Every structure is written in structure tokens, then in C-alpha cells.
Structure 1
């Protein structure tokens, strides 16, 4: 259906639109970050992207990070997490596993060990229950450093965690005392 290159290009474009700049394509994100599928396809085609529902569904189904999700009747789509725009995803608080992982690189380590993990321009800090996934995330920026997060201790201390549709654990901040490098 799509070459890997085309799939990656469109996936990145969807991330850009659904997570960061919906207004650039005239898209509005509604309840829980969803937008109308037909409207999204129309707006993308108006920007010469040549996309159909079948192509959109293929991108959603084959994205290895499960970045996108349809609603139950496939009429709406959203990014699962990672937004820099104001959107409430509707996730409910969940108890995390004992340890979670965060992948980073050396240039950020001093700041992290001083101030903890900050959400920066995103809605949440992203954590993984899988060390391999945390490593892959960090590898995009250089030599990976994997931090262990004492998530169960954080939760017991009153910190809130959410678990996204694609398996990413989300929290607002990870204080230094819960981080082991």
C-alpha cells in the first residue's frame, strides 16, 4: 500500500498535526484530543498529501509505537500522548509497576539529576515499563542512558500516573529522589 518511506513521512505529519500544530491544517482537537477522520483526510488532501481512509488506517495499524488511536466507530482519531497543545486525553489514574524506565542522553543528565524529570513543553513525562523501549527512545539522540524510576514509591508518596493507549506511562514530574542512574 505505502512504501516505508511514505508511511514514515505521513506518520510524522500526523504526529505534527495531532500533537503539536493542528491549527496549521485547520484542524480542531475536540474531547480527549480527537478530531474527525473525514475532516482530517479532506484537510490533508487540500495540502496535496493524497491520503484516504485506508491509508490512514494502515498508518495507525502499522505504527510501531502505536502513536495514534481511532475511536470505537473509526470516525475520530487522536495522538495517544506527547501533545504540546492543550488537550485533556481522559486517562484515569493508575498504579504503576514498581520500577519504570526513562531513556535519555548524557547532555541532559546533569539537569535531570539536579531538577528531576520535567515535562518541558509536553503534557507529561514519558516513562516505560520496558528497558528496551526506553533504550530505543534515547538512541534517537545519541548514546542512551537508562534511568530507573522508583514509580511505586512515587505513587505511594501521592504522585499521579496514567497509562496511555500505547503503553507509555505518564506523570507530571519525577523528583530526583525517585531517580537512579
Structure 2
């Protein structure tokens, strides 16, 4: 598969595994897992067929590492970003002292007033580095990067979780923990 094909299949999988499993007749379990054989069968039934080898390639080579197989390799799920109800089962984790959030510059006034909210997702996504935050923010317009004071948040009782691909999750980030680094 070339990079364009990987991105195309990754976007389809994101839609099905994170937002609209019913679109092709999938029924994820409480933790978001779908049996690979069901995914392949239902995709084919909806004229979106792909092979297990292509699926393996997307999971392995997707630059955002959005998907994971279970230990047996027979089920798959998205690591984060769901708008459907799931319990991913991540244990609380100790974050670095600072994390970052990339957003579009046009959203800064609202964020600085209300904080970071999960919106249509289950959690706010944070990055461990500025470059990743810039890339995330750039997907939505001119990027801006916010610094998140995780030390103060932890002291005040907020819990953090980290996914297998290094994305940090938190329920919300109130404005008092945010600092605008610079619009990029």
C-alpha cells in the first residue's frame, strides 16, 4: 500500500471504530474492540473491502498510530478519539510537568474563557511535545499552542491517562492551567 491508500483506509477505520460503527453494522464491545473478521466481513458487505494484510499495514504504518490489536490479534480498536461511548480501560498515569495542546488560532478566545473541553470526544487530547501540538493545531487552521500545567492539575486532583501511542488524555483543562505559548 502506498501512503495515500494508508491514509484513506485509516480515515475509514477512524470513522467506523471511533464514531459510526453502525454505518457498516459493527457492534464494538464496551472497550471499543471489534473482531477483525467482523470488520473485514462488514466492510466487504458495504463495498469497502480490504484485506487483513492491508489492515495490518495501516495499524503498523499509520503515522498517528491510531489503532491497536488486542493481544491475540483477533480484535482491533481505535486508541482514542471516540465519540461513541467506550471505556478504554487506561490506568491513571503520572504526566510530565507540562503537556501541550494544539488548536486553531481562531478558537483561542473561547478556550481561554472556558478551558479545553472534550467537545464530541470522551477526553481532551494533549501532546508531550510542541511539534506534535503544532501539527494537530494546523489541521484546523492557523495553529496555536497552549501549555498545560499538569503539575498544578495533578495537585488539584485531575487524573491523566496515556494511550499506547503517547497521546495524553484528561477530562478537561480549566483555563487557569493554560498558557498561550505563541500563535504559529
TM-score category, normalised to shorter length: over 0.9
Listed as ranges, the matches of 1:1-181 within 5 Å are: 2-181=1-180
CA distance, structure 1, for counterparts of residue 2 and residue 47 of structure 2: 17
CA distance, structure 2, for counterparts of residue 136 and residue 73 of structure 1: 33
Superposed CA RMSD: 0.8
What per-residue deviation string (whole Å, max 9, x for no partner) do you get for residues 130-150 of structure 1?
Answer: 111111111112221100000
CA distance, structure 2, for counterparts of residue 47 and residue 31 of structure 1: 24
CA distance, structure 2, for counterparts of residue 99 and residue 37 of structure 1: 37
CA distance, structure 2, for counterparts of residue 5 and residue 62 of structure 1: 12
CA distance, structure 2, for counterparts of residue 94 and residue 9 of structure 1: 33
- For residue 27 of structure 1, report the CA deviation from its aligned partner: 0.4
User: The residue matched to 1:60 in structure 2 has which SS?
Assistant: helix
Runs of 4 or more off by more than 4 Å in structure 1?
none
CA distance, structure 2, for counterparts of residue 128 and residue 89 of structure 1: 18
TM-score normalized with structure 2 length: 0.95
CA distance, structure 2, for counterparts of residue 6 and residue 65 of structure 1: 15
CA distance, structure 2, for counterparts of residue 31 and residue 115 of structure 1: 30
Note if contact 1:113-1:176 (Cα within 8 Å) is conserved in structure 2: yes
- For residue 6 of structure 1, report the CA deviation from its aligned partner: 1.7
What per-residue deviation string (whole Å, max 9, x for no partner) do you get for residues 139-168 of structure 1?
Answer: 112221100000111011100110011110
Note if contact 1:60-1:67 (Cα within 8 Å) is conserved in structure 2: yes
CA distance, structure 2, for counterparts of residue 40 and residue 130 of structure 1: 34
TM-score normalized with structure 1 length: 0.97
What per-residue deviation string (whole Å, max 9, x for no partner) do you get for residues 7-54 of structure 1?
Answer: 111110000000000011110111421100001001111122231111
Note if contact 1:95-1:152 (Cα within 8 Å) is conserved in structure 2: no
